Amino acid sequence: MSKLHQISSYIEYWLNAVDQHSLHAPFVYELYTKVVKNSEDATTYRHIEALREKFVHSSKNIQLEDFGAGSAVTKNNIRQISNIATYGVTQPRYAQLIHRISCFLEVKHAVELGTALGINTLYMASKRDAQVHTFEGSSQLCGIAREVFAGEGMTNIHLIEGNIDDTLPEFIMRSPAIDLAFIDANHRFIPTINYFELLIKKAHKASCFIFDDIHWSKEMEKAWKHIIQHYSVTLSLDLYQLGLVFFNPELRKQHYVLQF
C-alpha cells in the first residue's frame, strides 16, 4: 500500500465522481438516492457501534495468521485489537451502507469474506431474515467473533474458519444462490479475482458483489478494473472505498463513479 497512490487515486476519484443529477438509468438513480445517499439515524446502529468502541479501547494483543496483503499500518503479526478495530474493520458509514443495500435488494443469502472482529457481519445480519456465511482465516479472530455473535444472540450468522482459499471452494459446491457478497479478505490481485470467479458461480441477475478497498493499492485497482470488465458484469459503481457490481442482463453495461 502506497500513501502516494492513495492520494492520487482519491484525487482522480474526486474529479470524476458525479451525483444524482448525472444519473438517468432508473435503477441506478433509485439505488443512489434511496440507498447510497439516504443515511439513517445513527441510533439505529448504536449497539453495534458500542461494540466497535469497546474494541477500539481494548489493550489486548492477538497473533494473526495473515493470509492476505497484511495491514496498512503494521507488518507485525502480533496485533492490538484496538489497531484492528480502528484500521482493519469497515468504517461505520460503509457498513451501514451495506446493510441498506441488503434491505433494498431483499437479500436472503449473503456471504462475507473477512470476518475480522465481526462488526461488519453484525450489520449484514441485522436483516434478520438473511442468512450470512462469513469466512475468516485467523483462529483468534474467529474466537472473538464467535463471542460477539453469541453475545448479540445472532442465530443467522454462520462462521467458517480456515484459509479462505480452501474453505470457499468447498462452500461454493453446496451453497445456494448468493444474493449479496462482501469481499474484504486477501487484498491482492490473484486471490481477489479467484474469489470473484468462485462467487460468480452462484450469482444471479439480482445479485450484488461489493469489494472493499478497491483503491487501496495498484494491485487492488488492477483487480477492480478486471472485474468490472468481466462479461457478466452489467453495472459497476465506484464509491472509492467500495466497488459494487451487478449482473442483471437487462441493464445496459455501464460504469459510474459516484459521490459518497
d(CA 211, CA 243): 5
Q: Residue ranges of the domains in the chain?
A: 3-257
**Residue 160: helix, strand or coil by DSSP?**
strand
Mean pLDDT by 10 residues, the chain (260 residues): 84 95 95 90 84 95 71 65 93 95 97 97 96 97 97 96 97 97 96 98 98 96 98 98 97 95
**Residue 243: helix, strand or coil by DSSP?**
strand
Angle, CA of 240, 134 and 2, to the nearest 5°: 35
Q: What is the pTM of this model?
A: 0.93
Q: Are the CB atoms for 131 and 108 separated by under 8 Å?
A: yes
**CATH, range 3-257:** 3.40.50.150
Q: 41-48: long-range contacts (C-beta < 8 A, 24 or more apart)?
A: 45/92, 45/95, 45/96, 45/99, 45/123, 45/126, 47/152, 48/95, 48/119, 48/122, 48/123, 48/126
Q: Which residue has the cell 444524482?
A: 20
